[in-house]
Structure 1
Amino acid sequence: MPSIWTSLASLALIPALFLVATRILSFKTRWDPCLKHCFVTGGSSGAGLALATLLAQNGAHVSIVARDKAKLQKALEVLETVRHNPQQIFRAYSFAVNTEQGSVAAIGAASEPFDGHCPDAYFLCAGASRPGFFVEQTEESLKAGMESTYYAQAFSALAATKAMVQQGVKGKVVFCSSILGYFSMVGYSTYSPGKFALRGLAETLQSEFMLYGIDVHIAFPGTIYSPGYEEENRCKPKITLKIEETDDGAQPEVVAKVILDGVRSGKFHISVDFIGHVFRTSTAGSSERNSYLLDWVHAVVGYIGLPTWRKMWVDNLVVKHRDEHEGYLRERGLCSVE
């Protein structure tokens, strides 16, 4: 007679097999960006430009948005070098998208060459990181952090949604969070909160947008070797740099390919590399799984490895940094204790 544990294990397999079968039977045709109008914020450099370039290579119409007009012009020249067919339309627009007004204006401008029809897909890559210790922050810097990490994408999504719903466009909204939207550590008090917030927004909209036939995706890349990364390293605390010294980053082109592949195959959470898969599966909640087999493996690795890594590497380094940090604070008048 089978034991109670054997019976429970058998019962547990039933929903797992059902989910796998459902996944197989609900296989979707891969999304094709060819001659779709794709709107890319943060499209003048880094991962945004790499995504815009990849979309152009795949035959999409591409509108890129950023603030720096000179960078936008250079980015347009890059897109022209990978043009797939003469029908494609490439445009660049200089707008600040950290307000709804700016986002509405950007989408409106991008819609004009298409007789007022709004874009089909929105790749929201705008954002920046300025690391520092929380004790150094001000009300203004905390608000600025949320503007550059959350509002720069949230307001674009809001404007995009209103345009798509009004016109009946069944398109895509793709957010770009960060692996620091799954966990965080010293130095990222102005960055991680916004990236966590993007996940919360995406989780909400992935459910809500089923009402409109709009797909939602969110990417969680790790370190991207881009001009933005070089800029943030100039102000990054020493302890944060020390913790990250073993981090294997990726070129923007590699990250862009993984993100676009994830979007084309219909993935909701898109993680870029092994450690990203581990964090994704360890914090999945009720989010849709990407692979019911591999996600189990990544989750087991995370269950054992992530707390060990946090305790033995990250926390240990932070504690060792206390004396140096006290000296740093005294130099800046933030601590009077000798």
Structure 2
Amino acid sequence: MSETLFVVLFLVFAGPFAAYVVAALVLYLRPASKKLYPTFKNKHAFVAGGSLGLGRALALQLVAAGANVTIIAPFSDELQDAVQEAQASATPEHGAIHSIVADMRDAVSIQAAIHDAETHLGPIAILFTVAGKAVTAKLHDVSLDEHKHALDLNYFGTLNTVYAALPGMRARQRGSIVFIASGAALASYVGYAAYSPSKYAVRGLAECLHSELVGSGVSVHIAYPGQMDTPGYAIENVTKPAECKTIEANDTLHTPEAVATSILRDLQNGVYNMYCGDVMLRLLGSVSSGLMPRNNWALDVLMFPILVLTAWIVRTDWAKIVQKHRLDKTDSYQQA
């Protein structure tokens, strides 16, 4: 290759590459031009599933930021614990907190809860659909009723809540819906046959509403939390297949408080895809966002070829793990 040709080819490819690098850095470093929520003070936030784990962390941080918060859950004792924790550290700058016993799976119960919440604290500005349960097992280690229960709570519970709260937001032409999905709605593997489909359904609903509500004044967002140190996580590990535990051995275990902080920061900036401070989920989102808004399109373009190759390597590794457990006879079907 002649020196002239080399220089020409270098300029042809190096120029666009350098431009993408600069664009990626600019998009990453620049502050949001206009915050969706400069402050949460006096906003009414409705947290469905606000008594434990991530929902509780969101509620407490919102109250501390001056928001008025309604939390709902099916058990009154857990709700009262959350309310007492919020009130124990209350200051004049903190918002109010109101609790309602309600079951997201019951559309009538949720309708009544929305009415009760708005009667006490005014129109709902922000809706968080947090309640959910992870059932970790292989397909036939879970009964069909348990599969249906996962969909009933994780998807239809979310649908019921949005169905009840959205008409008011439409009428007021303002508001936000934050769907809490899971990293298992970006990619899934052995052990999540009863859980992941319900979270993919939540993701599908979020994408449909993001399109449907364009120009309505109602914004839609979706969060993909990874592994979190919650009471539910401890229960998951009891039934989690050995293969699943091996795949997740090096995953970061986040605190609900850290995840809540990340979600609220992204909400303030109007971010659609929220990866909850998890770098691996952020990279996974680069190859699985489809046609939805991207957090940094220039970075995604730069990383895409590398991430496609990485995805193949990871999938190959997962397959080897499953095969190894089968050969070692730790596969639950062989044990049965």
TM-score for the superposition, normalised by structure 1: 0.86
Q: Once the two structures are superposed, what CA deviation does each residue of 1:37-61 show, in whole Å capped at 9, x if it has no partner?
A: 0000111111110111111111000
Cα distance in 1 for partners of 2:216, 2:42 equals: 22
**Alignment pair present for 1:162 and 2:147:** no
CA spacing shift, 1:327–1:80, aligned 2, 3 Å = closer
Which sections of structure 2, spanning at least 5 residues, go unmatched? 1-7
Cα distance in 2 for partners of 1:241, 1:184 equals: 13
**How far 1:134 moved relative to its partner?**
0.5
Given that 2:181 and 2:199 are in contact with CA atoms closer than 8 Å, whether structure 1 keeps it comes out as: yes
CA spacing shift, 1:201–1:249, aligned 2, 3 Å = same
Cα distance in 2 for partners of 1:156, 1:65 equals: 11
Q: Secondary structure of the residue that 2:239 maps to in structure 1?
A: coil
Q: Once the two structures are superposed, what CA deviation does each residue of 1:74-120 show, in whole Å capped at 9, x if it has no partner?
A: 10011113435367321111110123222212211111213xx4311
The aligned counterpart of 1:307 is 312
Q: Secondary structure of the residue that 1:63 maps to in structure 2?
A: strand
Given that 1:150 and 1:197 are in contact with CA atoms closer than 8 Å, whether structure 2 keeps it comes out as: yes
The aligned counterpart of 1:335 is none
AA paired with 2:253? G
The aligned counterpart of 2:185 is 181
Cα distance in 2 for partners of 1:325, 1:45 equals: 37
Cα distance in 2 for partners of 1:111, 1:325 equals: 56
Given that 2:241 and 2:332 are in contact with CA atoms closer than 8 Å, whether structure 1 keeps it comes out as: no
Q: 2:323 aligns with which of 316, 319, 322?
A: 319
AA paired with 2:55? G
Cα distance in 2 for partners of 1:84, 1:125 equals: 26
Q: 1:199 aligns with which of 199, 203, 215?
A: 203
Given that 1:59 and 1:84 are in contact with CA atoms closer than 8 Å, whether structure 2 keeps it comes out as: no
The aligned counterpart of 1:227 is 231
Matches within 5 A, 1:22-37: 27-31=33-37, 32-37=39-44
How many residue pairs align between the two structures? 325
The aligned counterpart of 1:136 is 141
**Alignment pair present for 1:250 and 2:254:** yes
Q: 1:98 aligns with which of 100, 105, 114?
A: 105
AA paired with 2:73? A
**How far 1:198 moved relative to its partner?**
1.1
Q: Secondary structure of the residue that 1:187 maps to in structure 2?
A: coil
Q: Once the two structures are superposed, what CA deviation does each residue of 1:149-205 show, in whole Å capped at 9, x if it has no partner?
A: 211212111111123224x15011000011110110001011101111111111111
* Farther off after superposition, 119-128 or 27-36: 27-36
Given that 1:217 and 1:267 are in contact with CA atoms closer than 8 Å, whether structure 2 keeps it comes out as: yes
Cα distance in 2 for partners of 1:300, 1:330 equals: 38
Given that 2:180 and 2:224 are in contact with CA atoms closer than 8 Å, whether structure 1 keeps it comes out as: yes
* Farther off after superposition, 300-309 or 290-299: 290-299
CA spacing shift, 1:42–1:70, aligned 2, 3 Å = same
Identity over aligned pairs, percent:
29
Q: Once the two structures are superposed, what CA deviation does each residue of 1:14-51 show, in whole Å capped at 9, x if it has no partner?
A: 9x97xx89xx8993234021110000011111111011
CA spacing shift, 1:169–1:213, aligned 2, 3 Å = closer
Q: Secondary structure of the residue that 1:224 maps to in structure 2?
A: coil
**How far 1:286 moved relative to its partner?**
1.5
* Farther off after superposition, 318-327 or 176-185: 318-327
Bigger relative contact order (CA 8 A; separation at least 6): 2
Q: 1:152 aligns with which of 141, 157, 161?
A: 157
**How far 1:309 moved relative to its partner?**
1.6
**How far 1:147 moved relative to its partner?**
1.4
Q: Secondary structure of the residue that 2:333 maps to in structure 1?
A: helix
AA paired with 2:44? H
AA paired with 2:35? T
Q: 1:267 aligns with which of 232, 257, 271?
A: 271
**How far 1:331 moved relative to its partner?**
5.3
Cα distance in 2 for partners of 1:57, 1:298 equals: 38
**Alignment pair present for 1:295 and 2:300:** yes
CA spacing shift, 1:270–1:67, aligned 2, 3 Å = same
The aligned counterpart of 2:3 is none
Cα distance in 2 for partners of 1:258, 1:301 equals: 26
Cα distance in 2 for partners of 1:243, 1:25 equals: 36
Cα distance in 1 for partners of 2:31, 2:80 equals: 45
Cα distance in 1 for partners of 2:65, 2:331 equals: 53
Given that 2:107 and 2:161 are in contact with CA atoms closer than 8 Å, whether structure 1 keeps it comes out as: yes
TM-score for the superposition, normalised by structure 2: 0.87
The aligned counterpart of 1:218 is 222
* Farther off after superposition, 217-226 or 86-95: 86-95
Cα distance in 2 for partners of 1:239, 1:128 equals: 20
Cα distance in 1 for partners of 2:77, 2:293 equals: 41
AA paired with 1:249? L
**Alignment pair present for 1:83 and 2:90:** yes
Q: Secondary structure of the residue that 1:92 maps to in structure 2?
A: strand
Q: Secondary structure of the residue that 1:246 maps to in structure 2?
A: coil
